[in-house]
């Protein structure tokens, strides 16, 4: 199940719509890192509202995305982690350290408008 | 290593590729909901199954996740048995330490699973495979 990536102005928005296999997550990582360059994007939003499990692999790979995207000069924000998913992550000891998160897509867009190069150049 | 005994109401999910990881945790969540677990507990169970199934794919290549309703007096629960006949774990105690990994990833797999569930048992012998049994009680 491929994750659709929407180009919205200077941002890329990836909305996960169903459970993903490890290969799907790796494919999403590679697509985002590539498209940040192709579209000269300043920010990436990954919407995980529909994910009912964020295990060590998903968390680790999303953390990799954020770090790789930063190395490409853009910012990443993970949005929509559900309450019970957050609880399971904390129990596991997974914390997405160094990765921006917001409650939902709206907050994610607001975060990027404050924190990307676009905001700093204004 | 084979799971110890057959249990009534058991669901067995063969695990050999990464799509089976998703399948196993979906079956686990469905059984947890059916047994009346709250959604939060069902998510903990599904997350634990995801980790156990991935260990099978990564380290053994193939194996099985077995899901069973269990009872202890008035308490009801769910038991997950992850078994394979892969290379086994050379040092089971070391694999339970946070931050230890032979795969180069986070290394939180088994200690994380233990924290998600109420009971945890790891049996493994080099060359004989691995069997992890975990239980979650409802209430």
Say how far apart CA A31 and CA A83 lie, in whole Å: 28
The two most distant CA atoms of chain A are separated, in Å, by 41
- Contact list in A for residue B105 (CB cut-off 8 A) is 56-57, 60
Q: What is residue B60's DSSP assignment?
A: I
Domain B11-138 has CATH 3.30.565.10: yes
Domain ranges for chain B, please list them.
11-138
Does the predicted interface ipTM exceed a cut of 0.90? yes
- Contact list in A for residue B18 (CB cut-off 8 A) is 21-23
Q: B130 with B122: CB under 8 angstroms?
A: yes
Structure tokens, B63: 């194996």
Determine whether the interchain pair A56/B22 forms a contact, defined as Cβ–Cβ distance below 8 Å: no
- Contact list in A for residue B44 (CB cut-off 8 A) is 87-88, 91
Provide the residue-wise pLDDT of chain B in tens; the chain has 139 residues: 655 555 568 999 999 999 999 999 999 999 999 999 999 999 999 999 999 999 999 999 999 999 999 999 999 999 999 999 988 887 777 777 766 565 545 454 889 999 999 999 999 888 889 999 999 999 7
Domains of chain A: 5-121 (3.30.750.24)
Q: A55 with A20: CB under 8 angstroms?
A: no
Stated as kind and residue range, the H or E segment containing B84 is: strand B75-84
Residue B91 touches partner A, C-beta closer than 8 Å: no
| pTM listed for this prediction | 0.91
Q: Which of A26, A27, A62, A92 to probe by mutation at the B interface, max B CB count within 10 Å? A: A92
């Amino acid at each position: 199940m491929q994750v659709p990536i929407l180009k919205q102005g200077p941002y890329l928005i990836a909305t996960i719509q169903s459970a993903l296999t490890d290969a799907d997550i790796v494919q999403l990582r590679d697509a985002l890192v590539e498209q940040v360059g192709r579209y000269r994007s300043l920010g990436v939003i990954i919407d995980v509202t529909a994910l009912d499990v964020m295990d060590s692999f998903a968390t680790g790979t999303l953390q990799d995305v954020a770090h790789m995207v930063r190395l490409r000069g853009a910012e990443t924000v993970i949005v929509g982690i559900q309450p019970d998913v957050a609880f399971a992550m904390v129990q596991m000891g997974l914390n997405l350290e160094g990765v921006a998160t917001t409650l939902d897509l709206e907050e994610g867009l607001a975060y990027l408008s404050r924190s990307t190069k676009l905001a700093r150049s204004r | 290593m084979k799971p110890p005994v057959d249990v009534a109401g058991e669901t067995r999910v063969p695990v050999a590729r990464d799509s089976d990881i998703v399948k196993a945790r979906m079956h686990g969540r469905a059984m947890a909901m059916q047994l009346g677990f709250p959604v939060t507990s069902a998510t903990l169970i599904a997350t634990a199954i995801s980790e156990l199934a991935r260990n099978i794919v990564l380290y053994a290549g193939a194996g099985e996740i077995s899901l069973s309703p269990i009872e202890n007096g008035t308490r009801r629960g769910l038991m997950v048995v992850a078994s394979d006949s892969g290379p086994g774990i050379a040092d089971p105690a070391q694999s339970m330490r946070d931050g230890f990994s032979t795969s180069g990833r986070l290394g939180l797999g088994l200690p994380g699973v233990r924290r998600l569930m109420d009971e945890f048992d790891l049996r493994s012998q080099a060359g004989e495979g691995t069997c992890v049994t975990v239980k979650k009680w409802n209430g």
